[in-house]
Structure 1
Amino acid sequence: MSSNGDEAGGAEGAYDPRRQFAEECRSARELHPEAPLNQTQLAKMVRTSKSTISRVETCVGPIPPDLPARLDQVFSTDGLFKRLYEEITAQSFSKHSRRRMKLELRAIAIAEWSPTVVPGLLQTPAYAHALFREGDPRATDEELATKVRHRMARQDVLKGSSPPDFSVIICESVIRRNVGGPVVMREQLAALLTHGTRPTTVLQVLPLSAGTHGLMDGSMTLLTTADGQPVIYTEGIRSGAIIEEPSAVRNLSRSYDVLTASALSRDASARMIQQLMEAS
């Protein structure tokens, strides 16, 4: 994320959710119906510091992830600040990833196959940090922390009052690969076990003994919304694509169904994860 509004906005006059967030915060504070609020008063109401409010209103530095919801509560803005924060977060991702994230927010069902790493929606902060650190060894601690915050923010889609049905298949190699060291992996495996107990989540492991299948070339996410046809997101090391052509979606969906049949059951998957966690 850029550290100021001009950098974040790109072309002059372009819509900038970071600047919009700042302006909405300042406007809501100054036009507060009971009486105008100064930055110190607002900071007390949202349990933060005056300097944080000042930075938010001048587009300096990141927005604390818990602040948008508190602003919405104080100003009764019906999720305005939360929506703007989601847009700000999305700006740090590539164009194809931003579209995938918009679809995630509208999805009633998400089905995911991940052959190499724990899917982003299920990663712990430490696991995500280890991946980002390895992927960009020259990144500063602040840059890595920002990336981790943005990835964690994506997980809100599974935490609402009406989360989508979420089915995920991960390769056995994913839970055996020692990302970030034993402590990080134990925490990640424990998180997977917790996710697997949710009533809206089906978590399966594809054993290494499984044969050849139609999704060996990369990861895949099938997103279904209430008002549209299912679409598929595929991703490589430095690229990704949205697939909408009906016949291609149908063929890839069938490959996912076959993969589901080849994977371990929910209970057997949980036992394997538990055994690896205890052995690590």
Structure 2
Amino acid sequence: MANGSRQAAWEFFGTELKRHREEAGLTQAELGYRVFVSGGYIGQFEQAIRKPQLDVAARIDEVLQTAGFFERLWQKLIKDQPYTEYFAHVVELERLATAISEYAPTVVPGLLQTREYAQAVFLAGNPLAPDSYIEELLKGRMDRTRLLKDATRPVYWAVLHETVLRVAVGGPKVMAHQLDHIVTLTQERKVLLQVLPFSAGAHREMGKMMKLMEFEDAPPTVYTEAVLSGNLLDEPAVVKRTQSSYDLIRAAALSPEASLTLIQSAAEDHKQCGSTT
């Protein structure tokens, strides 16, 4: 399903939600109370600004007595996504975000990856997978990277731990090309990058990736990831604490100028290593 068609389908979801809610004589606040979200969130679901979690869709069916309609529609829309279930919502929100702040402790963030780097990451995690499966994963990843090329792209600010620069994912040549790509994006002022050097030592969220997203007409969210799972959080207290952690990381990182120099130096190191192998 193309992005435009998928968005139209989510708008249909929202339209039907509003129709059934009004037929049941419930306000957005009343429905939200019964399905354990705010009335504002119900309004965002109806406008297709945000997508509900599966358990929320199921509770909506129960309250509105719609015989599983919203759960089935949710399943259909998520099934058509080229992403894992727990990450599909994040991709939708990336497209709506006005600003994305990201901390990467070990791997280049997906939005910055080259095809060769992404392929090496996917093969490392799926060593026995057929080429068709890896290609499907690559298509989804490369579709996401186009976000930073759009005229309406979000403000993107990432902090990479120096580990990200040093681990030769895919080998020295692939890694050198990946770092050159990051340098290009930085020089074209499409992204703002900082590096947290080894010399910075320990910090509060050491080893934990985090992605903070801000929106024009919706509360900010935080995404963190673990093994085969992810957490998309919008509880204000959690978002505030995560923003504080990110600010501390950013403060300990090198300046953008010094970071660019270090990235270029790491790229040269990989190139020299590649030329001797």
TM-score (norm 2): 0.68
- Is structure 2 residue 212 aligned with structure 1 residue 222? yes
d(CA) in 1 for partners of 2:192 and 2:263? 14
Q: Is the 1:221–1:233 contact (alpha carbons within 8 Å) kept by the matching residues of 2?
A: yes
- Is structure 2 residue 112 aligned with structure 1 residue 113? no
Alignment of 1:84-99 (within 5 A): 91-99=81-89
- Please state whether the residue corresponding to 2:127 is helix, strand or coil: coil
- How far 1:142 sits from its partner (Å)? 2.0
Tell me which residue corresponds to 2:244: 254
Corresponding residue to 1:234 among 224, 246, 254: 224
d(CA) in 2 for partners of 1:259 and 1:198? 24
- How far 1:215 sits from its partner (Å)? 1.7
d(CA) in 1 for partners of 2:145 and 2:203? 29
Q: Is the 1:89–1:150 contact (alpha carbons within 8 Å) kept by the matching residues of 2?
A: no
Alignment of 1:147-162 (within 5 A): 147-162=137-152
Corresponding residue to 2:112 among 105, 111, 122: 122
Q: Is the 1:164–1:200 contact (alpha carbons within 8 Å) kept by the matching residues of 2?
A: no
d(CA) in 1 for partners of 2:85 and 2:146? 20
Q: Is the 1:107–1:224 contact (alpha carbons within 8 Å) kept by the matching residues of 2?
A: yes
| 1:261-280 Cα deviation digits (max 9, x unpaired) | 10011111111111111122
Alignment of 1:25-36 (within 5 A): none
- Is structure 2 residue 185 aligned with structure 1 residue 195? yes
- How far 1:88 sits from its partner (Å)? 8.5
The structure carrying a bigger helix percent of its residues is 2
Identity level (%): 39
Q: Is the 1:90–1:101 contact (alpha carbons within 8 Å) kept by the matching residues of 2?
A: no
| 1:138-168 Cα deviation digits (max 9, x unpaired) | 1112221221111000112111112110000
d(CA) in 1 for partners of 2:145 and 2:157? 14
Count residues in correspondence: 198
- Is structure 2 residue 167 aligned with structure 1 residue 177? yes
d(CA) in 1 for partners of 2:189 and 2:198? 27
d(CA) in 1 for partners of 2:79 and 2:106? 24
5+ residue gaps, structure 1, are 1-16, 22-86
Alignment-mate amino acid for residue 175 of structure 2:
M
Alignment-mate amino acid for residue 174 of structure 2:
V
d(CA) in 2 for partners of 1:236 and 1:261? 25
d(CA) in 2 for partners of 1:151 and 1:88? 16
| 1:6-64 Cα deviation digits (max 9, x unpaired) | xxxxxxxxxxx37x97xxxxxxxxxxxxxxxxxxxxxxxxxxxxxxxxxxxxxxxxxxx
- How far 1:90 sits from its partner (Å)? 6.5
Alignment-mate amino acid for residue 220 of structure 1:
M
Alignment-mate amino acid for residue 163 of structure 1:
R
d(CA) in 2 for partners of 1:242 and 1:256? 16
Alignment-mate amino acid for residue 99 of structure 2:
A
Tell me which residue corresponds to 2:62: none
- Root-mean-square deviation (CA), in Å? 1.9
- Please state whether the residue corresponding to 2:200 is helix, strand or coil: coil
Cα distance change on mapping 1:192 and 1:95 into 2, 3 Å: same
d(CA) in 1 for partners of 2:269 and 2:207? 30
- Please state whether the residue corresponding to 1:150 is helix, strand or coil: helix
- Please state whether the residue corresponding to 2:222 is helix, strand or coil: strand
Corresponding residue to 2:131 among 134, 138, 141: 141
- Please state whether the residue corresponding to 1:167 is helix, strand or coil: strand
Structure 1 runs of 4+ with >4 Å offset: 87-90
Q: Is the 1:90–1:98 contact (alpha carbons within 8 Å) kept by the matching residues of 2?
A: no
